[in-house]
Structure 1
Amino acid sequence: MPVLRRIGLAVRTWHRPLLVHAALMFALAAFAAVAVFADDRRLLGEPVWAKPMKFGVAMGVYSLTLAWLLPRLTKGRRTGWWFGTLFAVAGVLDVGAVAWAAAHGTFSHFNRNTDDVARTVQTIFSFGIMPLLVATLVIAILLLVQRTGDPALTRALRAGIGLAFASMVVALWLSTASGKQPRTEVDANGTVVSLGGAHGIGDPDGHGMALTNWSTTGGDLRVPHFVGLHAIQVLLAVTAALSLLAKRGDRAWLRGERARARLVGVAAAGYAGVFVVLSWQAWRGQSVLHPDTATLAAFAAVAVLTVLGAAIVVGRPPSARSEPAAHPTGRPGLARTGPGR
């Protein structure tokens, strides 16, 4: 119980609008998960409630991360709070539009019909998408101008939020490349819908893999978008793993802040490389399941460089890769820890 009490007290300091947003997203995901089985309507072979379910989980996890992150800011905290609130409101609107379209059995994205449902969704997206991008950019800038923990954590947060912003930009860029030729599809109600774009490049939507529905026959912008959006969670996991390893006796050198920060930097660079290659692959109209020789070579190069970078950090002489741990009295000349120090 003391552990649960401490967790509860910590959560109370988190960004409340984003906590509410996360709760709403997870509630929607749970409802949609049940509706997937209770509602037999389908869009392009996929249950109509599959998209709201995936959006709910993805946005819930991301907003929960932001809710934890924003109170850690030491500079521009009030600015961060307002832009976090903007993200929460815009996120509810955007995902709500996806759920609204699903409830009516029609398409949310790229829908160019003129009926009431389509116009409502189009209007919400026109007001809701850009605030998500702007809020993420502002938060990324705030992270760049300050430390939010030890160097490893700070580097993970900066790289993670930067890749999240890049994932939103690449989604907008690739979507313009994917939808030059409008097409028509039939929604779950049997209504013909004019679609002004597609997630797939080189092949329209509808040839997707299980669960994700990512295209198996062409490029798909959702792949790099997903990978970039959740970079921050992956890099935080790497940071946590390194911290746990540092507590082991045979990993004493990892107690040095610089060593952990360098390894997190290597992980972030490797992750960014994967994101770039996936974006390039999608732009060329190639399915993530069927990489060609050039794509495999690019992935191999990223892997080799990442392993080489990690090996260089680990192989550094002990005197160069470690430093004294911070003294509880904070005497001068010792390693600095803690946010803002």
Structure 2
Amino acid sequence: MSSTTLPLPQDPVRGPTTLLRAVRRRDPILAGFGLALLALAIVLGVAAMLDPRQLHGEDVWAKPAKFLLSVGLFALTSAWFAGELPEARRRAVPMRIVRWTIIGAGTFELAYITWQAALGQPSHFNESTPFHTVMFALMGIGAVALTATTLPLAREIARHGTGLSPALRLAIVLGLVLTFILGAGAGVAISVHGGHAVGGIPDHPGLPLLGWSTAGGDLRVPHFLGIHAQQLLPLAGAALAAAWPERARPAVWLVSALFVLVTLAVFAQAVAGRPLIGM
């Protein structure tokens, strides 16, 4: 029996509590890791209200809080998709590698970002000492390893996610693959450029919450879209499979192609030094 929405038939989602129980059943280790990161993000949100220090125009705790939220969501989404696999595949070597790479690479990167924030120092592009240079390089390796876990997970879903409708399975696989191609690709572009800002005014206030530049190009915009293909395309696939089951697969291909074009367009806009939203 195939499902046309993200929840499995045995995991009806009627509210946040039910959703949390469902994701914890699917992969308790990854789900526990993701939920712990979200809880820590809340703690840092409180710290931001108590600590007036600023770094590059924003609260010192803003960056670690955003990274905690992003990696936490990444881990929870991966845990949900793992639940679409047979138990034997969830216990197999590929999924063990995926699970512990997410936890290991995520923990390392988040610990260093948070430690640097506590010191009031930047974590990214900080090459002020040999130690900071090495840590920044290791962070880059960790970030690539983290996003690369989407590839074996996509392969597992493509081969063994037989309980899913064809359109939803396609959307999950495409979302995972594009997360690595677009998300990691934009991350590499940021690293090669030496930062996310292209033109604009240094330390100019950005968009609320997101912090994206309103005075120049910002490579974080395509990076954000790429990283969250992991969630956006499967959600679109679930909606299409439910509303238009007969033509859902071609529609998933179309939506995915449009998503790639939009991401490339905002990347070109950032490279040209133009903000997504000018102020």
Same fold (TM over 0.5): yes
What is the match of residue 154 of structure 2? 140
Alignment of 1:38 onto 2:35:
no
Question: Partner of 1:92 in structure 2?
Answer: 107
| CA drift at 1:177 | 3.9
Partner of 2:176: 161
1:176-234: CA deviations, max 9, x gaps?
4422xxxxxxxxxxxxxxxxxx2112347522222211112222111011111112322
How far the C-alpha of 1:12 sits from its partner, in A, is 4.2
User: Could you say if the C-alpha distance between residues 167 and 17 of structure 1 is closer, same or farther in structure 2, counting changes exceeding 3 Å?
Assistant: farther
Instruction: Give, as a single letter, the amino acid of the residue that structure 1 aligns with 2:187.
Output: L
Decide whether the 8 Å contact of 1:19 with 1:64 is kept in 2: yes
Match of 1:71 among 68, 71, 83: 83
Quick one: structure 1 residues 121 and 37, their matched pair in 2 at CA, closer, same or farther if it must change by over 3 Å?
A: farther
Q: Does the aligned pair in 2 maintain the 1:178–1:202 contact within 8 Å?
A: no
Residue 8 of structure 1, CA deviation: 6.7
For the 8 Å contact 2:34–2:71, the answer to whether it is kept is: yes
Compute the displacement of 1:72 (Å): 1.8
Which residue does 1:130 correspond to in 2? 144
Determine if contact 2:168/2:241 at 8 Å carries over to the other structure.
no
- Whole-Å Cα distance in 2 between the matches of residues 265 and 111 of structure 1? 40
- Greater relative contact order (CA < 8 Å, ≥ 6 in sequence): 2
Q: Does 2:260 align with 1:272?
A: yes
Matching residue's letter, 1:18: L
**Over residues 236-260 of structure 1, what are the superposed CA-to-partner deviations in whole Å (9 max), with x where a residue is unaligned?**
3223334554xxxxxxxx3x4x422
- Post-superposition offset of 1:138: 2.6
CA drift of 1:115 comes to: 7.7
Amino acid at match of 1:231: A
User: Aligned partners of 1:244 and 1:138: how far apart in 2?
Assistant: 27
TM-score normalised to the size of structure 2?
0.81
| Residue 261 (str. 1) matches residue 220 (str. 2) | no
User: TM-score, with normalisation over the residues of structure 1?
Assistant: 0.68
| Gapped regions of structure 1 (runs ≥ 5) | 180-197, 246-253, 291-341
User: Residue 196 of structure 2 aligns to which amino acid in structure 1?
Assistant: H
Which whole-Å CA distance do the structure 1 matches of 2:214 and 2:112 have between them? Answer: 27
Q: Which of 45, 62, 69 is the aligned partner of 2:74?
A: 62
* C-alpha separation in 2, matches of 1:226 and 1:126: 16
Deviations for 1:134-168, whole angstroms, at most 9, x for unmatched residues? 32333234344454511111111012112211233
Query: Which has the larger displacement, 8-17 or 83-92?
Result: 8-17
| Cα distance change on mapping 1:221 and 1:7 into 2, 3 Å | closer
Query: Structure 2 CA distance, aligned partners of 1:202 and 1:102?
Result: 25
Q: Which residue of structure 1 lines up, in the alignment, with residue 5 of structure 2?
A: none
Q: Of the candidates 196, 199, 209, which is equivalent to residue 196 of structure 2? A: 199
Paired with 2:197 and 2:118, the residues of 1 have a C-alpha distance of: 24
Deviation digits for residues 54-91 of structure 1 (CA, Å, limit 9, x no counterpart): 11111111210100112323595411232222112211
CA distance, structure 1, for counterparts of residue 27 and residue 130 of structure 2: 38
| SS at 2:25 equivalent | coil
Per the alignment, residue 216 of structure 1 pairs with 214
Rounded Cα–Cα distance in structure 2 between residues aligned with 1:76 and 1:12:
17
Q: Contact 1:171–1:225 at 8 Å: present in 2 too?
A: yes
How far apart are residue 285 of structure 1 and its match? 2.5
The amino acid that maps onto 1:86 is T
> What is the rounded CA distance, in whole Å, between the counterparts of 1:93 and 1:104 in structure 2?
17
Separation in 2, partners of 1:174, 1:123: 15
Aligned to 2:127: 112
**C-alpha displacement at 1:9, in angstroms?**
6.2
Task: Name 1:182's counterpart in structure 2.
Answer: none
Number of residues of Structure 1 aligned to a counterpart in Structure 2: 260
Return the letter of the residue paired with 1:220: D
Deviates most, 94-103 or 166-175 = 166-175
Percent identity reads 33
In structure 1, which of residues 29, 46, 52 is the aligned counterpart of residue 64 of structure 2?
A: 52
Going from structure 1 to structure 2, the CA distance change for 1:128 and 1:173 (only over 3 Å counts) comes to closer
* Aligned position for 1:310: none
The structure whose Rg is larger is 1
Distance 1:46 1:265, change over 3 A: same
| Deviation, structure 1 residue 127 | 5.2
Superposed CA offset, 1:97-135 (max 9, x none):
11111111110100011286x368436515522321332
RMSD over aligned Cα atoms? 2.8
1:233 corresponds to which letter in structure 2?
A: Q
